Amino acid sequence: MISRTHRIRLVPNKTQEDFLRRACGCARYAYNWAVATWDEQYRNGLKPSAYSIKKLWSENKPDWAYESPKDAPLNAILNLGKGFANFFTGRAEHPHFHKKGYNESFTVNNDKIVIKGKQIRLPLIGWIRMREELRFSGKVCSATITYDAGQWHVSIPVMIDEDVTPPNDSVVGVDVGIKVLAIASDGTVCPNEKYFKKNTKKLKRLQRSLSRKQRKSANRQKALVKLQKFNRRLTNRRNDSIHKFTSNLAKNHGTAVIETLDVRSMGKDKEGEARKDLKWLRCLLQDTAMKEVHRQLLYKMSNVELAPKYYASSKTCSRCGHKKETLGMDERTYRCDECGLILDRDFNAAINLSKMRWATPCEACGVPKGL
């Protein structure tokens, strides 16, 4: 049994859209209330948990919360518990308050939803039309409704019976970078189209237009939707290339070896402060999707292994194993001083990763620390 998720666009009417917005607001309010309550209990010497906070919410929730599905605020609090678990283990920052109008969503459990053809029934809301039918047959786990750039979508994870046996025993190394989004040791390349750099002027114009609008006005909301649509279009184009790249690797290889990267520290000094002379590097990193490449490999590949954090995959020769002392960032071609190998820098690193059989098995629960 494996999980597959299908994201489908919803077509609600005005009444249903009001209910959906109300449910998103209830989930956001419960999440922010839980963050404040958690921090207050922690300062008072208590040991809060998601279940204790959830019980406290059930006893003290406001009357208007009954107008939204019961699972919306409860699942938001459970998500906060996962956020604090990642924070205490060093995988994420301290959970912050959610802002209205950004990343609006709520989740309903599988026992509260019914799917029939191109319709889904949600509690207190009723049947809502979907743009397409669910492609996967199996046990529906939940339904997460999201609002972004003027559109409503539902994400439905389904447990299906599928053979998870690797297609073969081949191992592929995957190196992510800036020149190309990713390159595999079998020669497959995911190009970097640099959508952010090519559309910087238009992005600045939309952001400037948003900042000039009066807060809480209808014109500001319209400007925000335009900006969100533009960002979503860039993200979709980038993700499309990554999906094609990772799906091809998953079909042809059984194991992928990836790097353990600390993207946040790139362009910073030892004290964690941003270096002014590396501003260009941070701008280029905004056009990459290193985390997204690794995230997709983690759930698509049958087996994923992690190379050590400080393994010099770029400095090591993939033919003789000679390691260079220094390798400048402007050196895009690797030239070995021992055997005379001349090879693309990123492709050389991918080959070194594919040969690493002593890498650490990666848990399928999330992205490595630092990404």
For residue 27, name the pLDDT band (cuts at 50, 70, 90). very high
CB atoms within 10 A of CB 348: 26
pLDDT of residue 62: 92
Rama region for 138: left / alpha / beta (φ>0; ψ in -120 to 50; rest):
left
What would the mean pLDDT of 121-142 be, rounded to a whole number?
A: 91
pLDDT of residue 357: 58
For residue 367, name the pLDDT band (cuts at 50, 70, 90). very low
29-33, 50-54, 113-117, 356-360: segment of lowest average pLDDT: 356-360
Domain spans of the chain, in order of start:
2-160, 171-361
Tens of pLDDT, residues 188-218: 899 888 888 888 899 999 999 999 999 889 9
Tens of pLDDT, residues 301-327: 878 888 887 788 888 888 888 888 888
Task: Say whether pLDDT at 125 is over 60.
Answer: yes
pLDDT of residue 271: 55
pLDDT of residue 300: 84
Task: Say whether pLDDT at 178 is over 90.
Answer: no
**Residue 371 and residue 351: Cα distance in Å, rounded?**
22
Task: Say whether pLDDT at 368 is over 50.
Answer: no
54-68, 129-143, 312-326: segment of lowest average pLDDT: 312-326
For residue 274, name the pLDDT band (cuts at 50, 70, 90). low
pLDDT of residue 289: 80
Task: Say whether pLDDT at 43 is over 60.
Answer: yes
For residue 364, name the pLDDT band (cuts at 50, 70, 90). very low
For residue 370, name the pLDDT band (cuts at 50, 70, 90). very low
Tens of pLDDT, residues 75-123: 999 999 999 999 998 888 899 999 888 889 999 999 999 999 999 999 9
pLDDT of residue 96: 93
What would the mean pLDDT of 123-132 be, rounded to a whole number?
A: 93
CB of 4 within 8 A of CB of 136? yes
Cα dist from 280 to 13, 180, 192, 197, 274, whole Å: 46, 16, 16, 11, 11
pLDDT of residue 278: 66
For residue 356, name the pLDDT band (cuts at 50, 70, 90). confident
Mean pLDDT of all residues in the chain? 85
Per-residue exposure over 161-195, b if at least 16 CB sit within 10 Å of its own CB, e if not: eeeeeeeeeebbbbbbbbebbbbbbbebbbebebb
Q: Which residue has the higher pLDDT, 166 or 342?
A: 342
pLDDT of residue 202: 93
CB atoms within 10 A of CB 76: 25
Cα dist from 211 to 38, 185, 196, 208, 215, whole Å: 33, 46, 20, 5, 9
Task: Say whether pLDDT at 232 is over 80.
Answer: yes
pLDDT of residue 310: 79
Task: Say whether pLDDT at 365 is over 50.
Answer: no
